[in-house]
């Protein structure tokens, strides 16, 4: 990092430094176990594999607990438990009864929100103000939302009967552990499927706490199973006797999963990477756009598949926007995820930090100009300063590859046509942002941008009723909203309907 540090500077417009008092959220609310079990058939059990792995706090590198590394036998036991629960109970339960369980989970998440938020920040490194104000409220909202659909599937699919598919194998990443668990479990359960969930290797603890909530909510044993482990466990789950695979993670693993399920009857949805364009036109309200750009790329340390990682700025406002952006970066507070004033927490893992450093170094080598604000970083743990690059060309790796860190690549454009061309010049297509005062231009752009979500004069806004998903190498299938029910149901014409 020393070589990179030399390019740090303070801009003339840097405001005077504010001294903030520490405002740590207490960890007392969280009770950690030394060792956790796998949640199979409604019980926490020791892994047949006999293997455990340590899970750490990425802001201190301190070991928090040991969790099982589920082997093939454990995966099969979990899938069998899910199958038994499906056949014996869950599939035939009236929708209004399934809804009661989902409402119970949702309410428990609200009641225990602070505990979940603290644990999420401890295990994943994200700032407490995000886990507290975004991840947990949205996770609970997702369960509430799909609880509402459970007894209304006839209205969701008029003229057709929606039947559950069976057992879903669900593999999720580490950037939004609780929220991704909710995105997977809630629609699957609402539609009458049972599930086996595999959280990411680096962030298993909130999924295991959620398993406790599910146990306390007295869901039929086996309706939800949670198996921890690394990529091998995920691969074993995808290959196991499941009827549906739902995956969120990297495009590379998504492709491997697609190869595994090819030629089988398994249904598949993939939510993969992104390299979203955040496009600012010259008539945009500049201060508002700067906030949106900052939120777009620095929210959750940039560990966001739909992050606005490519900023496209219309040429006449480039200088003005850059100056404001640099000044704003100076005010971002990097540090302890549990401090309520922290804007940017810890990078999720050493592996991810190495990947970010490598891509940032490639940006410098390929001739882009890097800017990082001056700020101290804690000695232990995994950290990366908010970073932006100017002088970026479309061929640079930092303009093409997903960095998945707090790093923004800035390009310019002159006309709306050029903005569309550059925005779509990527193998990905998950999201995009448009900043302009003209409503007609927003619609013109939205029609042409190849992205599952297009935000207008805002960014990174999520709602359970709104579908989310990708184009091209960002995957297929939608999560959220009415659309999010479809991947979990088999539709047949209802009596009398054609």
The nearest distance, CB 249 to ligand NAP, in angstroms, is: 3
Q: For Mg ion, give the closer residue by CB, 221 or 231.
A: 231
42 alpha-carbon distance from chain centroid: 27
The nearest distance, CB 209 to ligand NAP, in angstroms, is: 17
Q: For ligand NAP, give the closer residue by CB, 300 or 314.
A: 300
Q: For ligand NAP, give the closer residue by CB, 220 or 480.
A: 480
402 binds, among Mg ion, ligand NAP, none (CB under 5 to 8 A by kind): ligand NAP
**439 in Cβ contact with 324 (< 8 Å):** no
Q: For ligand NAP, give the closer residue by CB, 213 or 353.
A: 353
Residue 221 burial (C-beta neighbours within 10 Å; 0-12, 13-18, 19+): middle
The nearest distance, CB 490 to ligand NAP, in angstroms, is: 24
Q: What's the Cα-to-Cα distance from 325 to each of 12, 288, 391, 408, rounded to whole Å? A: 12, 11, 15, 11
Q: For Mg ion, give the closer residue by CB, 85 or 227.
A: 227
**195 in Cβ contact with 3 (< 8 Å):** no
343 binds, among Mg ion, ligand NAP, none (CB under 5 to 8 A by kind): none
370 binds, among Mg ion, ligand NAP, none (CB under 5 to 8 A by kind): none
Per this entry, what is the length of the chain?
498
198 binds, among Mg ion, ligand NAP, none (CB under 5 to 8 A by kind): ligand NAP
192 binds, among ligand NAP, Mg ion, none (CB under 5 to 8 A by kind): none
169 forms beta bridges with 196, 245
458 binds, among Mg ion, ligand NAP, none (CB under 5 to 8 A by kind): none
Q: For ligand NAP, give the closer residue by CB, 40 or 238.
A: 238
Residue 271 a catalytic site member: yes
Catalytic, out of 271, 401, 402, 479:
271
Q: How many CB atoms lie within 10 A of CB 36?
A: 23
Angle between helices 177-190 and 95-111 (to 10 degrees): 160
**Closest to 248 measured CA to CA, from 176, 349, 299, 192:** 176
DSSP 117-149: HHHHHHHH---HHHIIIIIHHHHHHHHHHHHHH
β-pairing, 194-198 vs 224-226, is: parallel
334 alpha-carbon distance from chain centroid: 20
The nearest distance, CB 68 to ligand NAP, in angstroms, is: 13
Site for Mg ion in 219-238 (CB under 5 A): 231
The nearest distance, CB 248 to ligand NAP, in angstroms, is: 5
- Which residue's beta carbon is nearest to the bound Mg ion? 231
**39 in Cβ contact with 70 (< 8 Å):** no
- Opening angle at CA 345, ends 318 and 233, nearest 5: 110
The nearest distance, CB 493 to ligand NAP, in angstroms, is: 35
Catalytic, out of 305, 306, 402, 473:
305
224 forms beta bridges with 195
Chain contacts with ligand NAP (rule: CB under 6 A): 171-175, 198, 200-201, 230-231, 234-235, 238, 248-250, 253, 256-257, 271-273, 305, 355, 402, 404
Element containing residue 163 per DSSP (H, E): strand 160-164
Binding site for Mg ion (CB under 5 A): 231
Residues that are catalytic: 271, 305
């Amino acid at each position: 990092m020393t070589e990179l540090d030399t390019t740090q500077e303070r801009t003339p417009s840097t405001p005077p430094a504010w001294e903030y008092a520490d405002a740590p959220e207490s960890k007392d609310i969280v009770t950690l176990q030394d060792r956790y079990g796998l949640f199979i058939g409604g019980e926490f059990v020791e892994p047949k594999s006999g293997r455990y792995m340590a899970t750490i706090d990425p802001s201190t590198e301190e070991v928090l607990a040991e969790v099982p590394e589920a082997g093939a036998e454990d995966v099969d036991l979990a899938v069998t438990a899910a199958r038994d629960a499906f056949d014996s109970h869950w599939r035939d339960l009236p929708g209004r009864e399934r809804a009661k369980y989902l409402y119970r989970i949702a309410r428990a998440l609200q009641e225990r929100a602070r505990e979940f938020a603290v644990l999420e920040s401890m295990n994943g490194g994200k700032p407490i103000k995000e886990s507290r104000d975004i991840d947990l409220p949205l996770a609970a909202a997702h369960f509430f939302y799909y609880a509402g659909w459970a007894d209304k599937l006839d209205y969701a699919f008029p003229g057709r009967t929606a039947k559950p598919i069976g057992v879903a194998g669900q593999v999720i990443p580490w950037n939004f552990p609780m929220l991704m668990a909710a995105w997977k479990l809630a629609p699957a359960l609402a539609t009458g499927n049972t599930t086996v969930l595999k959280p990411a290797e680096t962030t298993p603890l909130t999924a295991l706490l959620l398993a406790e909530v599910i146990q306390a909510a007295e869901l039929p044993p086996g309706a939800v199973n949670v198996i921890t482990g690394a990529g091998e466990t995920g691969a074993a789950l995808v290959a196991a006797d499941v009827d549906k695979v739902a995956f969120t993670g990297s495009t590379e693993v998504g492709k491997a999963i697609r190869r595994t399920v090819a030629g089988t009857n398994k249904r598949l949805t993939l939510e993969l990477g992104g390299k979203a364009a955040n496009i600012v036109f010259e008539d945009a309200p500049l201060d508002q756009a700067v906030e949106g750009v900052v939120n777009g790329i620095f929210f959750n340390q940039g560990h966001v598949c739909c992050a606005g990682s490519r900023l496209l700025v219309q040429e006449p406002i480039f200088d003005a926007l850059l100056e404001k952006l640099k000044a704003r970066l100076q005010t971002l507070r990097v540090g302890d995820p549990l401090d309520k004033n922290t804007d940017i927490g810890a990078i999720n893992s050493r592996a991810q930090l190495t990947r970010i450093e490598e891509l940032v170094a490639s940006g410098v080598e390929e001739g882009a100009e890097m800017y990082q604000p001056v700020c101290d970083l804690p000695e232990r743990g995994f950290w990366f300063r908010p970073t932006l690059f100017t002088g970026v060309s479309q061929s640079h790796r930092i303009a093409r590859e997903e960095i998945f860190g707090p790093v923004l690549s800035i390009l310019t454009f002159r006309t709306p046509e050029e903005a569309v061309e550059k925005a779509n010049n990527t193998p990905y297509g998950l999201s995009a942002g448009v900043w302009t005062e003209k409503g007609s231009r927003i619609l013109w752009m939205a029609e042409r941008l190849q992205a599952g979500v297009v935000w207008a004069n805002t960014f990174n806004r999520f709602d359970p009723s709104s579908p989310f998903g990708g184009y091209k190498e960002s995957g297929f299938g939608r999560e959220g909203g009415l659309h999010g029910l479809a991947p979990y149901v088999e539709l047949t014409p209802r009596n009398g309907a054609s």
